[in-house]
Each structure stands twice: as C-alpha cells, then as structure tokens.
Amino acid sequence: MNSGYKLNIIDHSVHGYEIRCSYHTKSRDDHRTVQNSGIMLVATTMQVSSVKDKNPVIGDMSFYEIIEDIWEVSYNTFNTVLFKCKWVENNNGVQIDNLHFTLVDLSQIGHSSYSFIIATYG
C-alpha cells in the first residue's frame, strides 16, 4: 500500500550527530575517556508548592538527560532529529555545591514517561 507518503528513520547512535557540536549516546561514551552524552534543557514552567497553592510562579527549570539513541526522522519534506533520553530526577539527582557548580548524579533516573526531545540548533 503506497499512498505517496515516505517515512525514513536513520539511527545515529553509533557515530553520533552534529548540531553545532557533537552529541553521542551513553553506550558509545561507556567506551571512551571523554563523554558527550549528557544534555541540559531549560524549560519555562508553572511551579506550585502544593495542590492547594493559589499563587503559582512561572519560572525557568533545568532538566538533565542522558542520550540513549539519536534518530533522524524524515516524513515527506519534514525532517527532524530526536534524542531518546533518560531524565535525571531533579529532587535527588541534582545538587549545587558551595562553589555554585551543578553536580548531576546520572544514576538517579526519573520522568520515564517522556523519553524523547527534539534536537534543535540552539
């Protein structure tokens, strides 16, 4: 059944992907001395302290991910790159030390319902 639509997916997990810099997967980084499979996403979101909070605050929140797979998806003339990620749990996996460095514990995984993000040119 060919109705003129064309879907093509290219897996870039082995060699990585370049969008202004190189992105690689965790499985590739496991065999290297230098890693480049971690990314950070800053999202503007509504934050509340509890269900009863009547004064939500809009603010930026940082999320940290580990890239598991990199897919280039083409559907007719639409092309995009997707990163399949494991998200670090913000409550237990991220700390700011006394010198204001962000420490990310990549073994603290959370947010498993949302695996994909669109890679952009930033």
Condensed to tens digits (0 to 9), the pLDDT of residues 82-110 reads 888 999 988 889 999 999 999 998 888 88
| pLDDT tens for each residue of 30-59 | 888 888 888 888 889 888 888 888 888 999
pLDDT at position 122 over 50 = no
Q: What pLDDT is recorded for position 30?
A: 84
- Encoded amino acid at 24, one letter: H
Note the pTM of the prediction, 2 decimals. 0.72
Mean pLDDT of 2-13: 68
Q: Write the Ramachandran bin of 18: left for phi over 0, alpha for psi from -120 to 50, otherwise beta.
A: beta
Better pLDDT: 18 or 67: 67
Query: Chain-wide mean pLDDT for the chain?
Result: 82
Phi and psi at 91, nearest 5°, equal: -70, -40
DSSP state letters, the chain? ---S--EEEEE-TTT-EESSSEE--HHHHTTSSS---EEEEEEEEEE-SSTT-SS-EEEEEEEEEEEEEEEEEEETTEEEEEEEEEEEPHHHHEEE-TT--EEE-TT-EE-TT--EEEE---
Mean pLDDT of 71-85: 86
**Spatial separation of the C-alpha atoms in residues 20 and 18, rounded to whole Å:** 6
